[in-house]
Amino acid sequence: MVERVTISMDKKLVDELRRLAKSEGTSLSKLISRSLEEFLIERKKKEAGRKLFKIKFSTEEAQEALTELSRMRNEEWR
């Protein structure tokens, strides 16, 4: 489901986003939507990492956790 949202942004930012959308052959709406989705994915990954490092691990467990965190950072979360 798509929901229409109205936001206010600095004109210079909007102009730059419009240029980028045009150069990528997409709409401003799709560019902003995709950018916000990527932003949320990165926040979720960072939060997962912060939670992970609050846990006390043995040396072996810590290495496994770092390996898993690295794998998670390289995949798309949706």
| Pairwise CA distance, residues 9 & 31, whole Å | 15
Would you kindly state where each structural domain of the chain is located, as residue ranges? Answer: 11-73
User: What per-residue confidence (pLDDT) applies to 12?
Assistant: 98
Condensed to tens digits (0 to 9), the pLDDT of residues 7-63 reads: 999 999 999 999 999 999 999 999 999 999 999 988 888 888 778 777 777 778 878
- What pLDDT does 10 receive? 97
Place of tokens 């989705």: 37
List, as one string, the DSSP characters of 39-72: HHHHHHHHHHHHHHHTS---HHHHHHHHHHHHHH
For residues 51 and 71, give the distance between their C-alpha atoms in angstroms, rounded to a whole number: 16
Q: Is the pLDDT assigned to residue 72 strictly greater than 80?
A: no
Q: Are 66 and 73 in contact (CB under 8 A)?
A: no
Q: What is the pLDDT of residue 76?
A: 61
Over residues 57-66, the pLDDT tens digits come to 777 887 887 7
